[in-house]
Structure 1
Amino acid sequence: MNNRILVALGCAFALAGAVSARAAVVSEADAAREIENLPTQVAIKFGDLDLASQQGSAAMLQRISHAALEACGASGFSVPDYRWATKHSSCYRSSMDRAVADLAAPTVTRLYEQRREYASN
């Protein structure tokens, strides 16, 4: 079985309870700045996909998108408005760009660029 995994990176968002003990002794603003600069990694399994095909590439982009949303603070349980805002954030865009570039699959890259062009028009 081909067990390939890609990691999507994003900006970390944490709840106040997840702040380390060290951050508890600094100001709230300083703690927030510290937390926002930590990368979050989300593993994406894709060994079952043919990345040379249009269908496999589309499925991979969908998986990268879900991982980027999660890495940037949204989940399947987030309200639609929050998911929409996250999907239009710089965190999401940079996570998508980085993950697609790291994957280095020509068909995925081409499809991603086509979708970005369509979205910007």
Structure 2
Amino acid sequence: MTNNFKRALGEGGFGVVYHGYLNGSQPLAVKVLYESSSQGYKHFKAEVELLLRVHHINLVNLVGYCDERDHLALIYEYMCNGDLKDHLSGKRGGSVLSWTTRLRIAVDAALGS
């Protein structure tokens, strides 16, 4: 799925996020839990439970997860245009989101609309 964890996309709260593919064609982001993370399992479980219940246009979708003994991973849809942090900072060289757009996203996400 990740081609031996060849391409790292970034680092999340409890592990590295890798680029991968489902069935060789659908791009994915795979967040793998650090084995040394003491709070990792609690965060992992909380994130799975939250993303199974919450769906919003401004939140990435959880595609699946792996919970096999010492191997924990979250599998998300791949965001080819970067994440919200990239858009807020202008990191990808594109336009930075306006304050009006930022506020609308925050309010919509808080309301679950």
What's the TM-score once normalised by structure 1's chain length?
A: 0.26
Higher share of residues assigned strand: 2
Higher share of residues assigned helix: 1
